[in-house]
Every structure is written in structure tokens, then in C-alpha cells.
Amino acid sequence: MPFTINHIVAMAENRVIGRAGGMPWHIPEDFKFFKATTMGHAMIMGRKTWNSIGRQLPGRLTIVITRNQNFEAPAGVIVKSTLEDAVTYCRDHQSQWGSDCFIVGGGELYKQSMTIVDRIYLTLIHKSIDGDTLYPDVPVSVFEKVKDEQHLDAPIPYSFTTWDRTLK
């Protein structure tokens, strides 16, 4: 399998993904989707997202990106000072964590990696929600929607969509 850089993100229709350091909604089905999709793989996250999750998620490798040289993380968590180093770590550890590498947020990390991401797992929440962190614009001329599974009868209506890069 070719090495693949993925985003996995849940976004409201006004592009909001976070509020006050956390997630502004609770959709259990989306948590299940996140768990099933990332299980067994490496996840790269910004330090603020690490703070908001607050622990290692079982069965996955956590790589935290921070500019803080004194950042302390529990045993087993990998800390890198650049996104490039984090991606290289994933690439070099495919035999253990598979060829899919997941960038799991937050806003800063998604923005910085939009030019290198191959596939986007985007849960679209069909509602406008107040928040302070946004997902960047996806260049639609470069990505093609390959899946759109709608759950419009859910308490908070949402769709699981997948977008693949068609142009490098």
C-alpha cells in the first residue's frame, strides 16, 4: 500500500471544528467512526489537541507536535518539533503502524498540512455552530468526493464524506 497522509475531522457547515479548546458537539457515531478508522495507525496532533484529548488513545500511536523544547509527554507518546519530522516518523514506522498516517487536528495542523494531505475523512455536520477554530478551505479543484454517507435523521444531522486528492 502506498504511504497515505489522511485528515480526519468533524466540521460544522460554517467550518467550525472547535470551541474553547474542545469540541462543540458530541456525536457518538462520529467517535466510533474516528476510532474504527484510526485504530492501529499513527496519529499526528498539535499540542492543543493533545491537551484537549488529555490521554493516549489505545491501539494507536500518538505523535504530538510542539515548539516547546521542554514539553513532557507520557512514555509511548512521540514528540516532534516540526510537522515534517512527524510525517517522516510515520513513514519510517509503516511496518508497525501501517501505511495510513492520520493528522487528527487541530486547526493549525490541518491548515499546515492541506498541501500534503492525500485523503480527507470529513464528517460534515449539517448545522452552523459557534466556535473559534475552523477547518481550512479544501481546494475543490484538487480533491474529489468519493463517499457521501448521509445521516440526516440523527439528532444532529451529519454525513460521513471522503475526499481524495486527484492532482499532486
Ligand X SMILES: NC(=O)c1ccc[n+]([C@@H]2O[C@H](COP(=O)([O-])OP(=O)(O)OC[C@H]3O[C@@H](n4cnc5c(N)ncnc54)[C@H](OP(=O)(O)O)[C@@H]3O)[C@@H](O)[C@H]2O)c1
Q: For binding to ligand X (CB under 6 A), which residues are involved?
A: 9-10, 17-18, 21-23, 46-49, 52, 65-68, 81-83, 104-109, 112, 133
Compute the least distance from the CB of residue 93 to ligand X, in Å: 19
Closer to ligand X by Cβ: residue 22 or 139:
22
Closest among 27, 10, 6 to 131, alpha carbons compared: 10
Q: In angstroms, what is the minimal distance from the CB of 115 to ligand X? A: 13
Smallest gap from Cβ 122 to ligand X, in A, equals 9
- CA pair distance 66, 68, nearest whole angstrom: 5
Distance CA 86, CA 92 (A): 10
- The residue among 118 and 136 lying less far from ligand X, judged by its C-beta, is 136
Nearer to ligand X, 61 or 65 (CB): 65
Give the nearer residue to ligand X in terms of CB position, either 81 or 96: 81
* Cβ at position 125, least distance to ligand X in Å: 9
Supply the minimum distance, in Å, between the C-beta of residue 142 and ligand X: 21
Q: In one letter, which amino acid is 160?
A: F
Please choose, from the candidates 131, 133, 116, 92, the residue with its C-alpha nearest in 3D space to the C-alpha of residue 168. 116
Q: Which of 165, 2, 9, 1 is nearest to 102 (CA)?
A: 9
- Name which of 132 and 166 has its Cβ closer to ligand X: 132
Distances (CA, A) of 106 to 20, 26, 102, 154, 162: 12, 17, 12, 25, 18
